[in-house]
């Protein structure tokens, strides 16, 4: 594959390729950010921090009522029957994506109950590097582990994967467009030392490496003008896709 052929050809509206991570303290802060961003963002990720703060499903329902798409990022990882039941309960709530972070049986269980929900398998968290994998007992390179998990996700019936932008080209070359690729850890500039994301790319590089969607949190949320920051990301996406 050439670099140009790595760019996603899936029929996704360009404005929906940006997923804004609502990694904030509570649902009131999440709603305030959504209202501030307005039409600059159409797709939102809600994760563990909000889940523990309370009002999670009320927020999900509110986002759906606002005509927004929702990515439920709870990384389901438990015995397969528990994951199957959790996905079954979520499937009818209107979310677009949900994550699983488990072995083959867990991914297969999620796939069996997904309905219209798209299941994304987490490969290797973007906060981990080679040293972290050594600590966890993985004696292989990051890219080999990511590719192995991507192949297993495809076999298990998952719709896509979450990986860093560094491994996306390899996934596209090996698996083509059979899996959606969602890339978090987007950083418009070089990481600050205190940043917990280690394997990062910028917006344009993520899509040139094969992303279907990107997840952006702090660069938008912590910007002096979050709406302007989101609009800048959207402008870059339009440039990449010729819009």
Asked if pLDDT for residue 196 goes beyond 70, the answer is no
Query: For the domain 12-237, what is the CATH superfamily, name and number?
Result: Aldolase class I (3.20.20.70)
Residue 131 has a pLDDT of 58
pTM score: 0.89
pLDDT score of 174 more than 60? yes
75 in catalytic set: yes
Question: What does the alpha-carbon distance between residue 56 and residue 80 come to, in Å, rounded to a whole number?
Answer: 23
Band (194; pLDDT cuts 50, 70, 90): very low
For the stretch 157-167, pLDDT in tens is: 999 999 888 88
pLDDT digits (tens, 9 = 90+) for 73-85: 999 989 999 999 9
**Average pLDDT of span 135-141:** 58
pLDDT of residue 190 exceeding 50:
no
Average pLDDT of the segment spanning 170-194: 79
Residue percentage of the chain with pLDDT more than 90: 75
Q: Rounded distance, CA 193 to CA 137, Å?
A: 25
- 7-62 pLDDT, tens digit each: 999 999 999 999 999 999 999 999 999 999 999 999 999 999 999 999 999 999 99
**3-class SS at 215?**
strand
Question: 127 and 198 in contact (C-beta within 8 Å)?
Answer: yes
Residue 150 near residue 160, CB atoms below 8 Å: no
pLDDT of res. 68: 98
Confidence of residue 188 (pLDDT cuts 50, 70, 90): low
What does the pLDDT read at residue 171? 93
Q: CA dihedral defined by 119, 12, 207, 158, rounded to 10 degrees?
A: 20
Note the pLDDT of residue 2: 58
> Which of these is catalytic: 69, 75, 114, 144?
75
């Amino acid at each position: 594959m050439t670099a140009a052929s790595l760019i996603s050809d899936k029929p996704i509206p360009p404005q929906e390729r940006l997923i804004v991570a609502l990694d904030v303290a509570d649902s009131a802060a999440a709603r305030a950010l959504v209202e501030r961003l307005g039409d600059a963002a159409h797709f939102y990720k809600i994760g563990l921090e909000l889940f523990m703060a309370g009002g999670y499903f009320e927020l999900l329902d509110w986002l759906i009522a606002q005509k927004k798409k929702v990515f439920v990022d709870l990384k389901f990882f438990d015995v397969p029957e528990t994951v199957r039941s959790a996905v079954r309960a979520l499937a009818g709530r209107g979310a677009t994506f949900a994550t699983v972070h488990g072995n083959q049986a867990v991914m297969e269980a999620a796939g069996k109950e997904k309905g219209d929900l798209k299941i994304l398998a987490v490969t290797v968290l973007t906060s981990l590097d080679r040293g972290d994998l050594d600590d966890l007992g993985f004696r292989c390179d990051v890219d080999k582990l990511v590719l192995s998990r991507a192949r297993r996700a495809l076999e298990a019936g998952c719709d896509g994967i979450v990986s860093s932008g560094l491994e996306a080209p390899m996934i596209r070359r090996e698996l083509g467009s059979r899996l959606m690729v969602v890339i978090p850890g987007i950083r418009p500039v070089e990481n600050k030392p205190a940043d917990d994301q280690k394997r990062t790319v910028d917006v344009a590089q993520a899509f040139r490496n094969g992303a279907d969607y990107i997840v952006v949190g702090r660069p938008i949320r912590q910007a002096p003008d979050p709406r302007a920051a989101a609009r800048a990301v959207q402008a870059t996406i339009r440039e990449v896709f010729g819009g």
